[in-house]
Amino acid sequence: MSEEATSRKLTELAKRRGYFFQSSSVYGGVGGFYTFGPQGASLKGHLEDAWRERFSVQEGNMEIDAPTIMPEPVFESSGHLDTFDDMLVDCPECGESHRADHVVEDATDHEDAEGLPIPEVEAIIAEYELVCPSCGAGLAGQAVDDFNLMFATNIGPGDAQPGYMRPETAQGIFVEFPRLKAYARNTLPFGVTQIGRAYRNEISPRRSIIRTREFTQAELEQFVDPAGEGPDCSSVADVPVRLYPIAEQQEDDGEIVETTIGAALEDGVIADPWIAYYLGVAREWYETVGVDMDRFRFRQHLPGERSHYASDCWDAESEIDGHWIEIAGFAHRGDYDLSKHAEGSGERFTVFRQYDEPQIVERATVDPDMSYLGPEFGGDAGAVVGALEDLAATDRSAFDGEVVEIDLEGETHAIPVEHTGFSVDEETIAGEHVTPHVIEPSFGVDRLLYTVLHHAYREDEVDGEARTYLALEPEVAPTFVGVFPLQGDAALEAQARDIVAGLRAAGLAVTYDDSGNIGRRYRRQDEVGTPFCVTVDYESLEDEAVTVRERDSTAQARIPIADLAETLTALRAGERSFAELE
**Band of pLDDT at residue 2, cut at 50, 70 and 90:** low
At 113 the pLDDT is: 87
Domains 3-84+149-336+439-445 and 479-581 alike in fold: no
Q: What pLDDT, in 10s, does the model give residues 426-482? A: 888 888 999 999 999 999 999 999 999 999 999 999 988 999 999 999 999 999 999
Top mean-pLDDT range of 3-7, 355-359, 528-532: 528-532
pLDDT(141) > 80: yes
- Find out whether 482 and 534 touch, Cβ atoms under 8 Å: yes
Angle between helices 38-51 and 273-289 (to 10 degrees): 140
pLDDT(359) > 90: no
Count of CB atoms within 10 A of residue 433's CB?
A: 10
pLDDT(226) > 60: yes
Residue of 125, 119, 135 whose CA lies nearest to 102: 125
**Band of pLDDT at residue 262, cut at 50, 70 and 90:** very high
* Domains of the chain, residue spans: 3-84+149-336+439-445, 355-434, 479-581
Q: What pLDDT, in 10s, does the model give residues 91-137? A: 999 999 999 999 999 999 887 788 789 999 999 999 999 999 999 99
At 4 the pLDDT is: 67
Return the CATH number of 3-84+149-336+439-445, one of 3.40.50.2300, 3.40.50.970, 3.30.930.10, 2.40.50.100.
3.30.930.10
- Find out whether 363 and 352 touch, Cβ atoms under 8 Å: no
Class of the domain covering 479-581 = alpha beta
At 410 the pLDDT is: 86
What is the rounded (10 degree) CA torsion for 197, 203, 206, 211?
-30
Residue of 421, 115, 383 whose CA lies nearest to 249: 115
Could you tell me whether strands 240-244 and 296-300 are parallel, antiparallel, or unpaired per DSSP bridges?
A: parallel
**CA-to-CA dists, residue 507 to 67, 203, 321, 350, 544, angstroms:** 31, 43, 36, 44, 22
In the predicted model, what is the mean pLDDT of residues 32-45? 98
